[in-house]
Every structure is written in structure tokens, then in C-alpha cells.
Amino acid sequence: MSETLRRRHGADDDSAREEPAPSSRAGRRATFRAADPATPAGSAALRRSRRRGESGTETAPTRSSLRGRSFIGTLKALDVLSSAGAHVSVRVADLDSGEEVLTGDDHLTLPIAGLGVVPLLIEVAAQIEFGQLDPLEILDRGSTPPVGVAGLWQHLKAPALPVADLAVLAAAASDAAAANVLLNRVGLAAVRARMDDIGLQKTALIDRFRDERGLDDAPQVALASAGELSTLFAAIVNAQIVSPAVSAQVGEWLNLNQDLALVGTATALDPFAHEDDRHRMLFVNKTGRADGIRAEAGVLAGPAGGAAYALVVGFDDLSIAHRLRAHDAFRALGADLMEYVF
């Protein structure tokens, strides 16, 4: 294994300060750290409940779940990406204890593309909860300039839809038109203020979705760090964002996400119907895709435990091979997460 990959033996990350991504990918190597599998991961009530069988007795962790804590497959895949000059930011934390499982440059602020709808959905849910926004208010697609980068609404005949339906489209299908119309209604300033109130300093929706970005436009739609994204998703699932009702609503919307082609590939879930799985698996995620950008954050939980994760990759999008190499890292992470929670 490369010298840039090392196991963490209780050491804390001393680089939590904000640091912009390097201006050039050439020659850049990141350091990825996985928690020692021999280190106890805590015994929080939520994990204990997942380990209990029908008899109510607690069962010991399986050998596969202990082995999964090493995240060897993920470490190797990320080292390949880093060796090729990609910008990589990753964080995996235990959902019950918050203990760090895997980190690598998780303080870096990087573009996250469509993952930027998560701050928007939080603001929409908050305004609905506090009576500032009617979920049945009808919004017109023509209220914002046309955009065709992603989504279903551009292909539908309905020229207007209610707020709640637009939130579903934005969460489930990364619908750019739906997100833009919602953003036009609630206001970008409100979304930014909400993130400040939550305490997120590196996660920001900075512009609407556009087919092309001109010189006067923001260079990216959204930015975030893997560290903040994994913490944000853990807080959503644990009902700690704004209010329990807001957290639940955002979680329900995100649970409809149909993009399971990255980390979600390893779950074998039906991308069109996975909100209630008979194998006691919880999977809440959101992805972001753009030229040279792949990003995903979420929570995966099963009988043996749960984890909040985020992986952001910026790469030279020169060929299909470059994209497949990036995708391989997400799929390796998915496989290791499955071993961790089962």
C-alpha cells in the first residue's frame, strides 16, 4: 500500500482549518486515514438496538463488520485517484457515536454540483414548518430562465406545480428547473442565512443551476467540505437540523433519491422504491454530478450499525476512463460501508 495511506491509531486531525482546494491537480497526493479496527467504536443505544435479534439478546459484531472498519478497498481506490492528481475529500463517521472512521482532506472546500439542493431543501422545509411557505402554493416554471442540465420537469407538460412536488423533484431527480424555481421563491439570502444559523461555514448554495456559466456568473452552483456534509446528514437523520419536523421532512424527500449509481450501487436497493427495505437498511443520500465533479453524502444504516459519509472528487474529465476511475472510488466506499453496517 502507498505510503500516503496510513491507519489512524487515535490521532486527531490537526488540519481542521479552512483551506481552499489547490489550484492545480498535477502532482497532488492526499493522505487518507482509517480508524484502527481494533479500536472500540462505542456502544450507543442505536447500534445496540440494531444488533438485537428477535430474542432481544445482543449479538456480537460479525467478523465482516470488524474487517469493514479498515475500509481497505476505499483507501486503495482513493489513493489511485489522488495519484492521478484528483482532488479528493472524504469523511466517514459512526452514526451512533460520531467517532471518525475514515478521513482524508475532509476540511477542503470543493464544488459539489447538485448536492447543493440539500441546503435549499432545508430552507424550504423550514419555511413550510414556520408558516412562511404554503406547501401547496403553485409555482410557475416560467418564473426562472429555462435550464436543461438535469431533471424531469423540462419534459413534463405541466407548466406549474406546488412547492411540495417541486421539492420531491429536486430531491429525487436532481431536477434543476424545480430547484431554480424553489430558490427563486425562498431566496438565496435565506438559504445562506439558514446555513449560518445551523453553523455550517463551508457549505453554501451560491447560485442557481445554469446550462452555461458566463464570466459574470458564479463559477459553481455550490461548495462544501466532506466534513460538514457528513455531519449535516447525520444531523438530518438524528432529527437535529432546525427542528425534528424539518429534519424528518428533509429526510423523507432525500429518501426518494433515485441516483444509486455511486455509493448506492453496493446496497442492491431498488433506486425507484427504497424508502422501506425489508432487510432493515436505511439509506438516505444525495449526489452531485457535473463535468469533472462527482460528490455524494448520506447515511447508511443496518443491523450492525450506521455511518454518515461524504465523498467529493474533482478530477480531469478527459475521458470515460477518468470518470470510471472516479466512480470506482464511490463504489468501493459503498462496499466498505455495507460491511460496516451488516
DSSP secondary structure of 10-66: SPPPS--S-EEPPS--TT----EEEE-TTS-----HHHHHHHB-TTSPBPPPPHHHH
Query: What is residue 280's predicted lDDT score, i.e. its pLDDT?
Result: 86
Q: What is the rounded CA–CA span in Å between residue 19 and residue 100?
A: 20
Residue that terminates a domain, selected from 223, 249, 276: 223
113 and 98 both lie in a single domain: no
Which residue from 93, 96, 92, 94 is spatially nearest to 49, judged by alpha carbons?
Answer: 96
237 and 319 both lie in a single domain: yes
Give the E-state strand segments of 118-274 in sequence order.
Answer: 138-140, 160-162, 204-205, 222-224
126 and 233 both lie in a single domain: no
231 and 342 both lie in a single domain: yes
Range of the domain at 304: 28-107+225-342
What is the distance in angstroms between the CA of the first residue and the CA of the last residue of the chain?
Answer: 26
Query: What is residue 148's predicted lDDT score, i.e. its pLDDT?
Result: 86
Q: How many domains does the chain have?
A: 2
159 and 214 both lie in a single domain: yes
CA torsion, points 320, 322, 324, 330, in degrees to nearest 10?
A: -150
92 and 236 both lie in a single domain: yes
Contacts of 147 (CB under 8 A, 6+ apart): 154, 176, 177, 180, 208, 209, 210, 211
Residue that terminates a domain, selected from 175, 194, 223: 223
DSSP 113: G
Q: What is the rounded CA–CA span in Å between residue 6 and residue 342?
A: 25
| 160: in domain | yes
| 15: in domain | no
| 51: in domain | yes
232 and 135 both lie in a single domain: no
| 14: in domain | no
103 and 212 both lie in a single domain: no
Radius of gyration of the chain measured on its C-alpha atoms: 20
**C-alpha cell of residue 298:** 448520506
**C-alpha cell of residue 210:** 445554469
Query: What is residue 196's predicted lDDT score, i.e. its pLDDT?
Result: 96
In this structure, what CATH number is given to the domain that contains residue 322? Answer: 3.40.710
Query: What is residue 49's predicted lDDT score, i.e. its pLDDT?
Result: 35
Q: What is the rounded CA–CA span in Å between residue 202 and residue 195?
A: 9
pTM (two decimals) = 0.82
In this structure, what CATH number is given to the domain that contains residue 154? Answer: 3.40.710.10
| 11: in domain | no
| 20: in domain | no
230 and 218 both lie in a single domain: no
Query: What is residue 275's predicted lDDT score, i.e. its pLDDT?
Result: 79
Instruction: Count CA atoms within 13 Å of residue 182 on its CB side.
Output: 37
Q: What is the rounded CA–CA span in Å between residue 115 and residue 236?
A: 14
Residue that terminates a domain, selected from 174, 191, 223: 223
Q: Cα-flanking dihedrals φ and ψ of residue 234, to 5°?
A: -60, -40
| 6: in domain | no
Q: What is the pLDDT along the chain (342 residues), one digit of tens a residue?
A: 333 333 332 333 333 334 444 433 333 345 666 765 444 333 333 333 333 333 444 433 332 333 335 799 999 999 999 999 999 999 999 999 999 999 999 999 999 999 999 999 999 999 999 999 999 999 999 999 999 888 999 999 999 999 999 999 999 999 999 999 999 999 999 999 999 999 999 999 999 999 898 888 999 999 999 999 999 999 999 999 999 999 999 999 999 999 999 999 999 999 998 877 788 899 999 999 999 999 999 999 999 999 999 999 999 999 999 999 999 999 999 999 999 999
